[in-house]
Chains A and B, each alone.
Chain A
Amino acid sequence: GESVGLHLPTLSVQEGDNSIINCAYSNSASDYFIWYKQESGKGPQFIIDIRSNMDKRQGQRVTVLLNKTVKHLSLQIAATQPGDSAVYFCAEKVGTGGGNKLTFGTGTQLKVEL
């Protein structure tokens, strides 16, 4: 059921600054990782993914870094905009197939201040 008093970690950044959102994953067997953006009242939206044979991948204004040694994942957003305000989740899975289940991290609330 719902946990009373639980809150998401929050990252506040100024518009135009770069944002870095971190995630620690749990399963050393995970070999595929995805970042999702979730706006209030909506489903998660795919941002970027990375396979375990890579340590960095770049997209449009976003970069994902993977450190398998310490099981750490980060999402960097360049020139953060108000439209980037949302909750960001990392997700991990074993195997890249679309039928393999995802395990989600706890999430980080990104707030962009004008």
Chain B
Amino acid sequence: GAVVSQHPSWVICKSGTSVKIECRSLDFQATTMFWYRQFPKQSLMLMATSNEGSKATYEQGVEKDKFLINHASLTLSTLTVTSAHPEDSSFYICSAGGVLKRERVNTQYFGPGTRLTVL
């Protein structure tokens, strides 16, 4: 199947600092990337949808100035959590959707997630 990577896999930061998470599609070009947040024992909640070269579309209740998304190429999207606070501690997961070189084209392929802990 298609491979999506995230970096870092986990990060601990102090309150007030900014953290950048990278999401890369390794073997296909992703026209669309999605960012999710998942709290313990809960489902994935979509934060935003980003299309290459255009501004991200944020879900209701997600602060666009706090969660900065950049999708500068067909293989890389970044999520920056600005001025992070303890309540931003969560598991952040990206997924990539787009035309694959092989296999199905309809689904999203998920990255392994990034565990963010804000002290």
Residues of A within 8 A of B (CB): 1-3, 6-8, 32, 34, 36, 41-46, 49, 89, 96-107
- Given A98-B105, A99-B98, A102-B108, is A44 in contact with B31 using a C-beta cutoff of 8 Å? no
CB <8 Å contact, B113 and A6 = no
With a cutoff of 8 Å between Cβ atoms, the chain B residues found around residue A44 in the complex are 44, 93, 95, 110
Residues of B within 8 A of A (CB): 1, 4, 6, 31-32, 34, 39-46, 49, 51, 87, 91, 93, 95-100, 104-113, 115
Nearest first, the 4 closest Cβ-Cβ pairs linking A and B are: A98-B97, A99-B32, A43-B110, A96-B106
Q: Which of B4, B40, B46, B95 contacts A2 (CB 8 A)?
A: B40
CB <8 Å contact, B43 and A42 = no
Task: Determine the residue in chain A with the shortest Cβ distance to B111.
Answer: A43
CB <8 Å contact, B41 and A43 = no
Known: A89-B44, A98-B31. 15 other contacts (CB 8 A): A1-B39, A2-B42, A3-B39, A32-B106, A89-B43, A98-B32, A98-B100, A98-B106, A99-B51, A101-B46, A101-B49, A102-B46, A104-B43, A104-B44, A106-B43
With a cutoff of 8 Å between Cβ atoms, the chain A residues found around residue B113 in the complex are 41-43
CB <8 Å contact, A98 and B98 = yes
User: Chain A interface mostly helix, strand, loop or mixed?
Assistant: loop
CB <8 Å contact, A46 and B93 = no
CB <8 Å contact, B34 and A101 = yes
Least CB distance, B55 to chain A, in whole angstroms: 15
Q: Which of B43, B98, B105, B110 contacts A107 (CB 8 A)?
A: B43
With a cutoff of 8 Å between Cβ atoms, the chain B residues found around residue A36 in the complex are 110
Q: What are 30 inter-chain pairs, A to B, with CB distance below 8 A?
A: A1-B87, A2-B40, A2-B42, A3-B39, A7-B41, A8-B41, A34-B107, A36-B110, A41-B115, A43-B6, A43-B113, A44-B93, A49-B104, A49-B107, A89-B43, A97-B106, A98-B31, A98-B98, A98-B100, A98-B106, A99-B31, A99-B49, A99-B98, A101-B49, A102-B46, A102-B95, A102-B108, A104-B44, A104-B45, A106-B42
